[in-house]
Structure 1
Amino acid sequence: MKLPPLNALPAFEAVARLNSFTKAADELNVSQSAVSHQIRALESYLGEDLFTRKGRNLSLTEQGQNYWEAISSSLNQIERASEQVQGIASSEVRLALFSSFAVRWLIPNLPSLQREHPEVDLQLDMKNESPVLSDHTADCFITIHGESKGYTMDLLYTEKLFPICSRNYWNHICDTLYQAGIIDSLTPTHIPAESLFQFPLLSTISIFCKPKQDWLLWAYAGRLRVPDSVKFQQFSHMLLTLEAARHHQGIALTNDYMYDPERDSDLVRLPCHDFITEDKFYFAFKTSRRNEPSIMKVRQWIKKTARTSGLA
């Protein structure tokens, strides 16, 4: 077996992760010159430059980035395997997920995880996009990417969107439709979907990366055409759209993890059709880590909570 200078690998991993020779030396409790020597030895062995240095700026080369991705995962596996042999079980679990999913669903449910598994130290890393599946990012993930080599995926939720507004605005809608003779009660159990087009529609651009697309697809699912006269307000994120709806600015489209009837008593789900998007949310973890107790505890808790909360 032909291996590189093994003492150099932790030094390289630390410099790449911290983007600093000084910080890496402090973390490893060695001198900066010792770290530099290890990096030079590794570069000499590989025959490739791993870093580019321009003045005080340090960055990985393409080869360095690829090498870091490969060896850091291996070093983590060696560390975890050694801990298992020693009988040391890590209680720390890093979970990367969408910020909206974290704020609106996970965090409100966390007290039950803390009650059931107080030994688990769950650390959240909130992302604006579906997180990259990598040991560098986290130990486990909530993602919309359903397949990835080497990862186990548990389906948590198939997204559907439905209209929602504030309770005050709902009263305004009912009064308007009643006065127009469209509904025959101020507390209707159903309203014609096309009647929503006379009110301001709050649209979330990030759902489909295109203005108005959420409402256009909702209308298409109901075999409706959106009139040119409809007034739209655009928001970059569903959290913002929901807050605008909460403050009586119009009707928004949201989903099950963003809306909880018990917590959001000031909001009303309108009695119209919903539509299923193409997004599916999965709990993901590296299959090779399936025997790590803390990850498995988080996995089972999330799956159970998704079921009991009505998400799954």
Structure 2
Amino acid sequence: MLPPLKALPVFESVARLNSFSLAAAELNVSQSAISHQIRALEDYLGESLFQRQGRYLTLTQEGKNYLDVISSSLSHIARASNQIRGQEDTKIRIAVYSSFAVCWLMPRLSDLQHKHPNLDITIAMTHGSPELSDKTADCFITTDQGKRGFESTHLYQETLFPVCSHAFYEQMKNTLNLSSDDLSKQLKSSPELLQKFPLITSNGIYNDYTEDWLNWFTERNLTPPNNIKFHKFSHLLLAYEAAKHSLGIALVNDYMFSDKDSNNSLIRVPTYGIHTNEHFFFSYKTSRRNETAIKAIKHWIVNEASSLKTHT
């Protein structure tokens, strides 16, 4: 038996806005009508969906669980109805890691908008892995995959490599008394030379500071000395900025740096890179795979990400 269907969009609106009065304004009904619909739904379910503490309103655990299903179902109904009416939704939300959004996606957004001017795109940045849910976004760039009901297309495996500013590279040449060509040859044959200079580390990829560089050295069976000077930052974006300001040599990943960018204030140090265990995917709900906006974003991102696979 179905619940009182009129109450479902009311519940979704109250839960999303966290307010009876705001939901009433959005749905153009009285606040008492909102209260009546919520009470009818709670009576039907036999559970409280909201906790009311004075002026504050929060979802109960049952309310949170119910919202996950109801909001998704209402979205599906709205999209299906709009498709039949010839009014397919062009609004799309992309959830993506903050460093990926700032360094890779933002410089390319104008190209995406040029190729798909009808899309109304919202970018949601996340520090950790975004929750794969319609309430978070419509599609995701994430290292998570395999959630039931979602499809994931592999984009690439992450690579880390050393970079520094042009000024810092000149400082390296002067310190070692080498020409550009000679320094390049030395670094390729003796990468341990980097330990003579300050190294920039972050814990954005690995759990602890210096783990990024320890993995880099281990790749060539090198044991770094204990007296290396490290500059520590909590986020990869901060490490990237520190390198731009000549604080030292940073390990950054391939989506943060392009050898083809003539305006890049960093240069790739001529030595090896390492793969991390992270794989990036473009993910979306399986039930939404045929939506025009999802298909357009997927095709564009997969095509753009193909350049990342060329890094070694």
Q: TM-score scaled by structure 2?
A: 0.95
CA distance, structure 2, for counterparts of residue 185 and residue 302 of structure 1: 37
CA distance, structure 1, for counterparts of residue 124 and residue 180 of structure 2: 49
- The answer (yes or no) to whether the contact 2:3–2:41 under 8 Å persists in 1 is yes
Instruction: Say whether 1:188 aligns with 2:184.
Output: yes
- The answer (yes or no) to whether the contact 2:163–2:268 under 8 Å persists in 1 is yes
For 1:71, the equivalent position in structure 2 comes to: 70
For 2:301, the equivalent position in structure 1 comes to: 302
For 1:227, the equivalent position in structure 2 comes to: 225
For 1:141, the equivalent position in structure 2 comes to: 140
1:159 alignment partner, SS class: strand
The 5-angstrom pairing of residues 94-243 of structure 1 reads 94-178=93-177, 185-191=181-187, 192-243=190-241
Query: Which AA in structure 1 matches 2:196?
Result: Q
Q: How has the CA–CA distance of structure 1 residues 311 and 96 changed in structure 2, closer, same or farther, with 3 Å as cutoff? A: farther
For 1:290, the equivalent position in structure 2 comes to: 289
CA distance, structure 1, for counterparts of residue 306 and residue 185 of structure 2: 27
- Deviation at residue 145 of structure 1 after TM alignment: 0.3
- Deviation at residue 112 of structure 1 after TM alignment: 1.5
Query: Which AA in structure 1 matches 2:251?
Result: L
The C-alpha deviation readout for 1:241-283, integer Å capped at 9, x for no partner, is: 1111111110000011101221553311111121100111111
Q: How has the CA–CA distance of structure 1 residues 284 and 22 changed in structure 2, closer, same or farther, with 3 Å as cutoff? A: same
CA distance, structure 1, for counterparts of residue 278 and residue 119 of structure 2: 29
The C-alpha deviation readout for 1:198-237, integer Å capped at 9, x for no partner, is: 1111001121121111111111112111211001111111
- Deviation at residue 81 of structure 1 after TM alignment: 0.9
CA distance, structure 1, for counterparts of residue 135 and residue 252 of structure 2: 32
- Deviation at residue 308 of structure 1 after TM alignment: 4.6
- The answer (yes or no) to whether the contact 1:52–1:60 under 8 Å persists in 2 is yes
The 5-angstrom pairing of residues 4-43 of structure 1 reads 4-43=3-42
For 1:53, the equivalent position in structure 2 comes to: 52
- The answer (yes or no) to whether the contact 2:255–2:308 under 8 Å persists in 1 is no
- Deviation at residue 55 of structure 1 after TM alignment: 0.6
Runs of 4+ in structure 1 deviating by more than 3 angstroms, as ranges, are 183-187, 308-312
- Deviation at residue 134 of structure 1 after TM alignment: 0.4
- Deviation at residue 189 of structure 1 after TM alignment: 3.7
Q: TM-score scaled by structure 1?
A: 0.95
CA distance, structure 2, for counterparts of residue 99 and residue 263 of structure 1: 23
Q: How has the CA–CA distance of structure 1 residues 184 and 144 changed in structure 2, closer, same or farther, with 3 Å as cutoff? A: closer
CA distance, structure 2, for counterparts of residue 311 and residue 286 of structure 1: 29
- Deviation at residue 178 of structure 1 after TM alignment: 3.4
- Stretch deviating more after TM superposition (106-115 or 59-68): 106-115
Query: Which AA in structure 1 matches 2:56?
Result: N
Query: Which AA in structure 1 matches 2:238?
Result: L
CA distance, structure 2, for counterparts of residue 264 and residue 197 of structure 1: 28
1:188 alignment partner, SS class: helix
- Deviation at residue 53 of structure 1 after TM alignment: 0.7
| Count of residue pairs the alignment pairs up | 308
CA distance, structure 2, for counterparts of residue 184 and residue 120 of structure 1: 47
- The answer (yes or no) to whether the contact 2:254–2:308 under 8 Å persists in 1 is no
- Deviation at residue 188 of structure 1 after TM alignment: 2.2
The C-alpha deviation readout for 1:22-53, integer Å capped at 9, x for no partner, is: 11111111111100110000000010011111
For 1:248, the equivalent position in structure 2 comes to: 246
Query: How much identity, in percent, do the aligned residues show?
Result: 48
CA distance, structure 2, for counterparts of residue 265 and residue 54 of structure 1: 53
* Structure 1 unaligned residues grouped into runs of 5+: none
CA distance, structure 1, for counterparts of residue 153 and residue 5 of structure 2: 36
CA distance, structure 1, for counterparts of residue 85 and residue 9 of structure 2: 20
CA distance, structure 2, for counterparts of residue 114 and residue 160 of structure 1: 28
Q: How has the CA–CA distance of structure 1 residues 276 and 309 changed in structure 2, closer, same or farther, with 3 Å as cutoff? A: closer
* Structure 2 unaligned residues grouped into runs of 5+: none
CA distance, structure 1, for counterparts of residue 240 and residue 21 of structure 2: 45
- The answer (yes or no) to whether the contact 1:158–1:281 under 8 Å persists in 2 is yes
- The answer (yes or no) to whether the contact 1:164–1:267 under 8 Å persists in 2 is yes
Query: Which AA in structure 2 matches 1:188?
Result: S
- The answer (yes or no) to whether the contact 2:161–2:268 under 8 Å persists in 1 is yes
CA distance, structure 2, for counterparts of residue 187 and residue 226 of structure 1: 20
Q: How has the CA–CA distance of structure 1 residues 73 and 29 changed in structure 2, closer, same or farther, with 3 Å as cutoff? A: same
